[in-house]
Chains A and B, each alone.
Chain A
Amino acid sequence: GAVVSQHPSWVICKSGTSVKIECRSLDFQATTMFWYRQFPKQSLMLMATSNEGSKATYEQGVEKDKFLINHASLTLSTLTVTSAHPEDSSFYICKTGQETQYFGPGTRLLVL
């Protein structure tokens, strides 16, 4: 069964609104979670690494004030896309694990 869940699986929103995506580890404690973004027909691009109880580390070119990450517990990390715009439309996927890393099922965001 799935060991990492994401919610919602898809979301459509208006430009300017904020969207929160949740990533949960189901069977283990996840001290580190990785957030990726995938545009159509492109590979996964790492956006940020979140560590439980501390600030996330963002990859170059990713705006930390636009993509807010909270990792307040060992089983939950959230990614909030603030003031979303159509260019933020993408497939957002989290990844976490202990010895083996598992991807969540992804969240498809469409900003109109």
Chain B
Amino acid sequence: QKEVEQDPGPLSVPEGAIVSLNCTYSNSAFQYFMWYRQYSRKGPELLMYTYSSGNKEDGRFTAQVDKSSKYISLFIRDSQPSDSATYLCAMSASNNNDMRFGAGTRLTVKP
């Protein structure tokens, strides 16, 4: 079993739709949870950063962490074509520690 599982998609939605991206993990030591967005041929950029369980909202993006279920989610409201990218979940046991990544979900938002 992989430490981090993420459905690679691809996922295609119409513009304006709500997008739900998810990851599950097996290591209960993970406490820091991140979502990265990666455009084609570019390095990943940090979207959301969450410590422990709970929700965090930033504009159209909401990150949720459920440590009891070892399940994290990223929601994108009012999705835009510019949101088309690969979204990677990442997690680590301690800050500044190496992260474990999901496979990435390739998202396409169609105008």
Contact = CB atoms under 8 A, between A and B. Distances in A.
Q: Which of B43, B46, B103 has the most CB of A within 10 A?
A: B43
Contacts of B106: 41
Interface residues of B, number: 20
A83 to B, nearest CB: 26
A100 B104 CA distance: 20
B35 interface: no
Contacts of B88: 43-44
Interface stretch (B14-22, B55-63, B69-77, B91-99): B91-99
A99 B95 CA distance: 7
A43 B103 contact: yes
Contacts of A106: 41-43
The 3 A-B residue pairs with the shortest CB-CB distance, nearest first, are: A103-B43, A106-B43, A43-B103
B8 to A, nearest CB: 7
Interface of A: 6, 32, 34, 41-46, 49, 91, 93, 95, 97-106, 108
19 contacts: A6-B43, A42-B103, A42-B104, A43-B6, A43-B103, A44-B101, A45-B101, A46-B98, A95-B99, A97-B96, A98-B96, A99-B96, A101-B46, A101-B99, A103-B36, A103-B45, A104-B43, A106-B42, A108-B41
A103 B44 contact: yes
B77 to A, nearest CB: 24
Contacts of A97: 96
A46 to B, nearest CB: 5
